[in-house]
Amino acid sequence: MAYDETTFRRTDEQPTDPAAYRANTLAAAEQRRREELAAEAAAADTSPDLLRRDDDGRDRLGIHLGWEVVLLLAAATFAFLLWRLDPASLKRPALDNLLVTGAAIGLLTLGGGLTLRAGVPNLALGPIALAAALHYAEQGDQGLLKAAVPALIIAAAGAIAIGLLILVLHVPGWAATLAAALGVIVYDQLRAAPVVVQGGYDPTDQAFFLFGGFALLAVIGGALGTVTPVRRWLGGLRPHGDPAHRRGLVVAAPVILSLVLSSAFAVGAGILLAAQSASPIVPGTGLEWTGIAVGLAMLAGTSAYGRRGGVFGTLFAVAALTLFLDWSSRKELDIALFATAACVFGGGLIVTRLVETYGRPLSPGSGEDWNAAPTNGVTNWTPDLEAWNSASTTPARTDRWDEGPWGSGR
């Protein structure tokens, strides 16, 4: 019986070439990787964190801390220029008006930064603030509470409606809030003439408390934004991969909450601006305040993509802009608010690129890559194990078994 008969012959021939074996192994690993990616994509609606692997780890805060020092120096510079121009501007009662203005701008900036982090930038902040100012100017004689509560209710209801629109249709947040802004502008421009403020509320009596409350919210919010679980929960709707892919109901709470809070902040800012105004409230679009709110949030260190943000940047940026507006007004520079908003927004885009470039978490594989090449001077070996030549590493032997006294030629 011969061993090469069909009965004893293997039917599944195995490759003997090492390159073929390695190719089969790599193909199997690649197939497993594709299956894992397909399973993750199928579970995207219930596990959105799988789509944000680039958000793993803590951000590098060095760029934020460095930029916040720059903002602090800018605020100190404008404070010095304002003091040189008019020393009384930094003393009461002028200081009270300055703090109220800073609190109003700060509330708008908080709304812009919060919605940026949530992935639904609220472009209706300015029109809402102007609508609240006009409403308070008309109804302020009934008292602060009676004038503010209806405005807050309407703003919250509108924010919930826009949030549901974003969630149900899964449309970009900026587009939905822009549509809302256009609708609010219609309400703002129904007035044919400026509206004289009717209320008797004077916010300068609580100026330090108002600005202190804004500062506390800004610092606490910035600190919470550096916590990875909070950041991921808040930014569940941020685009990743296919931006039109639905994220499920898990993102409903942060989207609606951020829109409601930002709209409430805008109402508060509008009431503060109207209550301290000595001149009538002029109807307009309010989009300049939207540009300042969102632009100042980015200038403070919050990325336009919403992934990253600082801690003290909002406080320092608001202080610097408030001092600049007061200084330019006293110096009679006559700078349009739209021009200021454009400059602030442009600067915010530059800061976004800085924090996205230098604020990302370090990659786990940032160390030196392993090199399979030999370091002992051997030139006949490659990592593929396919070109190894034993003849060059093993010295030739002359004492072959078929030579000598026992050879075949004997």
Q: Dig out the tokens for 353 from the structure.
A: 């690129």
pLDDT category, 397, cuts 50, 70, 90?
A: low
Provide the pLDDT for residue 168.
87
Q: Which of 303, 300, 273, 310 is nearest to 288 (CA)?
A: 273
In this structure, how many other beta carbons lie within 10 angstroms of the beta carbon of residue 257?
A: 16
Is pLDDT at 259 greater than 70 in this prediction? yes
Provide the pLDDT for residue 90.
86
Q: Which residues have C-beta within 8 Å of that of residue 98, sequence separation ≥ 6? A: 89, 90, 322, 323, 326
**Whole-angstrom distance, CA of residue 298 vs CA of residue 402:** 85
**Whole-angstrom distance, CA of residue 300 vs CA of residue 68:** 8
Cβ burial of 229 (10 Å; 0-12, 13-18, 19+) is exposed
Contact 127, 285 (CB under 8 A): yes
Provide the pLDDT for residue 239.
58
Q: Dig out the tokens for 54 from the structure.
A: 């680039």
pLDDT digits (tens, 9 = 90+) for 334-392: 889 999 999 999 999 999 898 888 877 665 544 444 455 555 555 555 555 444 554 44
Q: State which of 39-43, 170-174, 324-328, 359-363 shows the largest mean pLDDT.
A: 324-328
Tokens 């003290």, located at residue: 312
Q: State which of 6-15, 195-204, 253-262 shows the largest mean pLDDT.
A: 253-262
Provide the pLDDT for residue 237.
62
Provide the pLDDT for residue 197.
87
Alpha carbon separation from 377 to 350, 380, 384, 389, 390 (Å, rounded): 50, 9, 17, 15, 15
Write down the domain spans for the chain.
Answer: 67-358
Contact 125, 262 (CB under 8 A): yes
Provide the pLDDT for residue 171.
87
More confident residue, 14 or 214: 214
pLDDT category, 158, cuts 50, 70, 90?
A: very high
Provide the pLDDT for residue 365.
47
Q: Crossing angle of helices 287-299/337-358, nearest 10°?
A: 30
pLDDT category, 316, cuts 50, 70, 90?
A: very high
* pTM (2 d.p.): 0.74
**Whole-angstrom distance, CA of residue 83 vs CA of residue 332:** 16
More confident residue, 59 or 128: 128
Is pLDDT at 216 greater than 70 in this prediction? yes
Provide the pLDDT for residue 35.
67
Is pLDDT at 327 greater than 60 in this prediction? yes
Cβ burial of 195 (10 Å; 0-12, 13-18, 19+) is middle
Is pLDDT at 185 greater than 70 in this prediction? yes
Is pLDDT at 14 greater than 80 in this prediction? no
**Whole-angstrom distance, CA of residue 131 vs CA of residue 370:** 62
Is pLDDT at 174 greater than 60 in this prediction? yes
Provide the pLDDT for residue 369.
47
Average pLDDT for the chain: 78
Is pLDDT at 213 greater than 90 in this prediction? yes
Cβ burial of 67 (10 Å; 0-12, 13-18, 19+) is buried
- Percent of residues, the chain, with pLDDT higher than 70: 69
Is pLDDT at 3 greater than 90 in this prediction? no
Average pLDDT over residues 134-141: 88
pLDDT digits (tens, 9 = 90+) for 84-124: 998 888 888 889 999 999 999 999 999 999 999 888 899 99
Q: Dig out the tokens for 222 from the structure.
A: 């910035």
Q: What's the CATH fold of domain 67-358?
A: ABC transporter involved in vitamin B12 uptake, BtuC (1.10.3470)
